[in-house]
Amino acid sequence: MEKQKNAVGRRKEAVTRVFMTKGEGNIKVNDLDYKAYFPQVYLQNQVEMPLKAIEATDKFDVVINATGGGKKGQAEAAKLGISRVLIEINAEWRPVLKAAGLLRRDPRGVERKKFGKKKARRSYQFSKR
């Protein structure tokens, strides 16, 4: 792999574009180190998960452009994007990533608000008297 490979990951309202090249294992999100961009350890683990699954944490440099949604959605979108790029690089990694559940786009989103309610399901407080 000489040139850069890329893929898109999505989750809720978040969209990430992932660019990957051979390197030392640097991961940057919006021009920041991923540990600075995602200060919570569980979000850092989400981003690292696909690389750990194929045991290639120090073989690739990853650049991620994240937009929309919140930090959690962006981290999970990055996880899907990295997994998709890895399959583009080497199709033999597909069974490992699929078994780890890293290739499925999480379809859950925000439920819309209904009329007569405070939120999607939360009603106004009922007063008998």
Q: What's the pLDDT tens digit per position in 12-65?
A: 999 999 999 999 989 999 999 999 999 999 999 999 999 999 998 899 999 999
The residues spanned by each domain of the chain are 5-99
Averaged confidence pLDDT in the chain: 93
| pLDDT of 105 above 90 | yes
Instruction: State the CATH class of domain 5-99.
Output: alpha beta
- Calculate what percentage of the chain has a pLDDT beyond 90: 91
Do the Cβ atoms of 9 and 102 come closer than 8 Å? no
CA–CA distance, 115 with 36 (Å, rounded to integer): 41
CA atoms within 13 A on the CB side of 73: 15
User: What pTM does this model have?
Assistant: 0.89
